[in-house]
Structure 1
Amino acid sequence: MGGKYYSDVEINLKSDKLLIESEREKLPLLGNSSEKYYEKPSCLEPCSSSALLVLYLFGFCVFLISGAAIFSILESPVEEQFRDRMRMVRQKFLETHPSVSDDELESLITEIVLASNRGVSAIKNASGTPNWSFGQSLFFSSTVITTIGYGHVTPLSRSGKIFCVLYATVGIPLTLVLLSALVERLLVPTVWFLQFLNSRLGHLYQPLNIRLFHLFIIVSFFVIFFLLIPATIFATCEPEWNYLDSFYYCFISLTTIGLGDYIPGDSINQPNRPIYKIVTAAYLFIGITFMMLTLAVFYDIPQLNLGMLFSTSNDVNSEKVRLAGSSTGSQYGAGDVFNSTTATDDNTHRHVVRVRSRRDDSPSPEESGPKELRLP
């Protein structure tokens, strides 16, 4: 009984969960597993998660202060130039029109600024397109529920302000649910594309390198079709915008920062302004969806997810897998362990491990046949 028995083993593994345990390590073979194991780098083992968090907070504060200092250095001279220009224009106006007192001019400027802050332009006797036409109102509603909030147009009445609060309270959660549902649908072709890259490049590169290449393609798609090309369109449609202004607007809007310094369709002579606003609202909604998709792809790569460094446990179990959902059957990290193929239509992956039978030089017929072990 001292001899060892070997046989051909064929294991059918369902795609909902696979975890092979060995004495030294745990390896997640399929990306659609409900559990993932991520080990922190060995250089970080002596440091506790609390110490890392404190260090990160310190770096974040330094980053915030550095940004404030750089903005102050860059923008203060330009602001001073505008102030000098306004003083010169004001002084020139008073000299040209001596009948107008300084107090009267100050009162007029105050009213103009107040109207401008409420979204009402004083140019051409305030005869431009109204801000609360249906197209303009639809654009405003989209900026509210997507949390962009440009602030160039705000409700003027008390009832409008109350309705805005209620509308945002209901609309923002509904929008988040809809965006999440759309991202989940878009993840299906995204994972298919990753599987295609694994099938073509899995024998040449490590899974992490393939996933980084996949992320690069997704980011490039987002930048080209939702930043560069729309910036070209806005630069053509907006008479006072150059390409940098248009790209700046696209980035600020799709990241939901919404500074409100550049608003499409606010030109007095803008043709078809309501329709232009509706098309812009559709662009913002679709662009934010693809931005969330890009962030989901980025977040699903554990090596790039810095949040895992601050985990209180050594292994991060039960991590939500965004790209490798149970309906997609992706194979993240499995390429370097087994050569897997999709065997059946119900997303069953077959891994074949063949070991030469050698109980003795001439095995008996009943021992030489293959044995099959199936795991549920």
Structure 2
Amino acid sequence: MRAMMRLKDVCLVRLPSILLLGLVYLTYVLIGGVIFWNLEGDLGQKDMGLLLQSKERLLTTYTCLNQEGLEAVAQVVQDASKVGLSLRGNHTTDGFWKFTSSAVFAATVVTTIGYGNMSPSSTAGQIFCVFFALFGIPLNMVVLNRVGKYMLVIERNISDFLEGKTGRRTCTRFFVHLVSFLSGAALFFIMPMLVFQQHEGWTYSQAIYYCFITLSTIGFGDFVADNNPDKEYPEWYSILMASWIFFGLAWLALLINHSIDILERLNTHIKQRWGGQQLEGESGSGKRDNPDTQVEEDEIQKPPITQ
């Protein structure tokens, strides 16, 4: 009974914090929607107007082409884009389903990126994709989590080594975190940006945008590397892409975990400052009843991975 009362008190204390986080989250999403609406809304209407003008110009130029013929041509173009067929000139490509591009597609499935530029069309392929993702997504999360932990262990070992040499904990850890962030940004954003600009013909801003959308697993599909049927890509290009996606996901996941930790600490600071009071008996064994405190203590007491 006493334990139930204590748990009830903890829930009552945490309720305002949950409501505050929910309010911040909702406000953040709504503000983002308003900004996207203002940035893209007028442009979308303008693009629709230009497309309608192009359609009328096309029907006027090619008088033998009526509305039904235009729809048939559009369907051919759409089907060709789905299979990676080039409509320029008299040559054809191997399409999307080569071994290298198929391997990259499998990687986008288990990483949940899902560009949408290619997808299985056969019944057997669709059924296999379901089971492949069902077991592949958890396996991918476990592997990425382990790789991210190894990255974190390397970072901590370097930090501990430099701390032993300098004797300055705060400055050393800040310096190591900064170098780690800059190195990761150069390796997973700057260098791929240059490669994509060279082989895809994108602008630098488009390449950076594609890097983040891919590594964050958002995967809109508006920009997809190794996807243009009118370009000849080297064989190493797909292998490099798959390696970049795998290690980049692990690095960005580690960075996002750091951001989550910062937000959790900020939430704890705000709750302590504006809450005004804590539970009675929270000291000693009572701290273990607070889920936030328990998680923080577990993270501090957890020894680094050495295997």
Does TM, scored on the shorter chain, surpass 0.5?
A: yes
Which structure has greater helix proportion?
A: 2
How far apart are 1:161 and its partner, in Å?
Answer: 0.6
Question: Are residue 123 (structure 1) and residue 87 (structure 2) matched?
Answer: yes
TM normalised by structure 1 equals 0.66
Take 1:314 and 1:162, find their aligned partners in 2: how far apart are those partners?
41
Instruction: Work out whether residues 95 and 229 of structure 2, in 8 Å CA contact, stay in contact via their aligned partners in 1.
Output: no
Total equivalences in the alignment: 278
Amino acid at match of 1:177: V
Alpha-carbon distance between aligned partners in 1 of 2:56 and 2:301, rounded to the nearest angstrom: 62
User: In the alignment, does 2:304 pair up with 1:317?
Assistant: no
- Could you say which residue in structure 1 is the equivalent of 2:70? 105
Deviation at 1:93, TM superposition (A): 1.6
Residue 167 and residue 303 in structure 1: after superposition, are their counterparts in 2 closer, same or farther (change >3 A)?
closer
The equivalent residue for 2:241 is: 280
Q: In the aligned structure 1, how far is the partner of 2:295 from the partner of 2:223?
A: 43
Deviation of the 1:179 alpha carbon = 1.4
1:91 is aligned to 2:64: no
Amino acid at match of 1:101: N
**Aligned equivalent of 2:19:** 54
1:221-260: CA deviation from partner (whole Å, max 9, x where unpaired): 2112111121112111112x01111111111111111111
Question: In the alignment, does 2:194 pair up with 1:254?
Answer: no
- Taking only the aligned residue pairs, the percentage that are identical comes to 27
Distance in 2 separating the partners of 1:60 and 1:322:
28
> Which of 219, 225, 229 does residue 264 from structure 1 map onto?
225
Describe the shift of the 1:81–1:50 C-alpha distance in structure 2 as closer, same or farther (beyond 3 A).
same
Q: Which amino acid aligns with 1:227?
A: F
- Corresponding residue for residue 81 of structure 1: 46
CA contact (8 A) 1:148 1:258 kept: yes
Q: Offset of 1:77 from its aligned partner? A: 2.2
Specify which of 208, 215, 224 is matched with residue 186 of structure 2. Answer: 224
Q: Shift in Å at residue 140 of structure 1?
A: 0.2
TM-score (norm: length of structure 2): 0.79
Partner AA of 2:151 in structure 1: L
- Stretches of structure 1 that go unaligned for 5 or more consecutive residues are 1-46, 329-376
- Establish whether residue 179 from structure 1 lines up as the match of residue 141 from structure 2: no
Distance 1:271 1:316 in 2: 56
Structure scoring higher RCO (CA < 8 A, sep ≥ 6) equals 1
Larger Rg: 1
Show CA shifts across 1:249-290 (max 9, x none).
111111111111111122233223554222211111111122
Root-mean-square deviation over aligned CA pairs: 3.1
Distance in 2 (alpha carbons) for counterparts of 1:136 and 1:168: 17
CA distance in structure 2 between the partners assigned to 1:94 and 1:212 by the alignment: 63
1:195, distance to aligned residue in structure 2 (A): 0.8
Q: Which residue of 1 aligns with 2:277?
A: none
- The amino acid of 2:23's aligned partner reads F
CA distance in 2, matches of 1:128, 1:307: 57
Is the alpha carbon distance of 1:112 and 1:322 closer, same or farther for their aligned partners in structure 2, counting shifts above 3 Å?
Answer: farther
Distance (Å, rounded) in 1 between the aligned partners of 2:244 and 2:55: 40
Question: Unaligned 5+ residue runs, structure 2?
Answer: 1-11, 272-286
